[in-house]
Amino acid sequence: MTDPDKGPHLLTLVQLLDHASKRLPPARYVWGVVALAVVVAAIKLLLGLNQVAFVALSATFVGMILFYIFAQIGKTSHPVIKWSGHALLIVTAIAYVTLILSTASFVFTCWPPVLAHLYGFAEVCKEAPYRSSVEDLRASVQIASTGNDELNATYLFRNLGMQTALVSGVYLFEVVRKKGFDDPKDNVNFCDSVKPDTLLVLNTMAPIMGRGSQVGNDDQKSSQYHPISLLVDGTAWDRGAPIPIEGGKARTVSAKFTIEPSHTKDINILVLCPMISTMDIMNLGGTAICRGLAVTVTGNARFESRSTQQFRILPHPSGVACPIATQ
């Protein structure tokens, strides 16, 4: 069970601790010390010996002392001492679990922020989400009409993260309305109000009802379009193939769409929202709908409002609407 060069196997040590816990119940408290030791090892591996490791290492040492105290309490038969020992055990367990979880969370996410000041990482964590984020995919989209109900959408993707991002598809989400905002330029904001349920219904209906399927009521109807052709950095691309974007690089995707002309009959507002599907580092899919182009017709007047904002597509937003990139 032992290797002269490597010492006792980890499995042997675990079995020894488990056997000790059965023979001497207070020995089960050592598992808390083991958990802290694992945290210390992870911190040392990721960040080296620093203030975080020192705090966790100190907590491990204190845990060993508390183990001795708990072992002594376990031997006594005095009811007051036993009650005090159990109360101390509960408080200590809560404190240790909190320390383990908060320290592990801080190592990987810089949260909770108060630990950044305690451990001396305030400046590092301040820049971390934008300087060293694993996932940070940005996108901006321009939509232009090419005539005969055809549109061309140009998606500019910039990957500011370290991990290769995967765009699994680009689409257009359409909203048609009879009434809009008082200021026509605000009608592009209808892209933010798309509900996940609407998207789910459209994805379910499309294979059955075909291209241009609509859901909604007389006030507002929605539909979605798939591209009829796709170019990636000027080269023809299979519409069903994912588009990889390496960390630190950018790619331009040009998609041509044909919209259904009957959708704009007897309506005053047409809103076209770029829709982007991606896969994250956990291999989970997500879809985001961004602000695009709004066309408002009043009498003989026609007004167009376009979004010029940049959006952050990865990490996946909490909802369907694309969050605006702030930096």
Cα distances (angstroms) measured from residue 249 to each of 123, 125, 165, 262:
26, 24, 10, 40
Cis omega (within 30 of 0) for bond into 242: no
Cβ-based burial of 307 (10 A; exposed 0-12, middle 13-18, buried ≥19): buried
For 115-141, write each residue's pLDDT tens digit. 655 655 555 555 444 344 578 999 999
User: Within 10 A of 298 (CB to CB), how many other CB atoms are there?
Assistant: 11
Cα distances (angstroms) measured from residue 314 to each of 281, 324, 326:
10, 11, 13
| Residue 153 reports pLDDT greater than 60 | yes
User: Within 10 A of 309 (CB to CB), how many other CB atoms are there?
Assistant: 14
Tokens of 134: 């694993």
| Residue 159 reports pLDDT greater than 70 | yes
Q: Yes or no: say if 26 and 70 are a contact pair by the CB < 8 Å rule.
A: yes
Ordered domains of the chain (ranges, CATH): 2-131 (no CATH), 137-314 (2.60.120)
For 233-290, write each residue's pLDDT tens digit. 999 999 989 999 998 999 999 999 998 888 877 788 999 999 999 998 778 889 999 9
Average pLDDT, the chain: 77
For 163-176, write each residue's pLDDT tens digit. 889 999 999 999 99
pLDDT of residue 200: 84
